[in-house]
Structure 1
Amino acid sequence: MNAKTIFFIILIASSITACSTTPTTSNNSPTVLEQHKNISAEPSTKHNLARLIKQTDNCVIEFTGNFETGKAIEHWIFKGDQLISAFSNIDAEVENKQTVFDPNDAEKVKNFELLKKNFKATNLEKCL
Structure 2
Amino acid sequence: MSVAGVPAETADTAVLLLSELATNAVLHTPSGDVGGRFAVRAFFLPGRLRVEVRDEGGAPFQVPSTAPEPAPDAEHGRGLLLVATLAYRWGRFTSRCGAGTFFELLWDTGTAAPAVPMPEEVRP
Q: Same fold (TM over 0.5)?
A: no
TM-score computed with the length of structure 1 as normaliser: 0.24
Structure number with higher relative contact order (C-alpha < 8 Å, ≥ 6 residues apart)? 2
TM-score computed with the length of structure 2 as normaliser: 0.24
Structure number with greater Rg is: 1
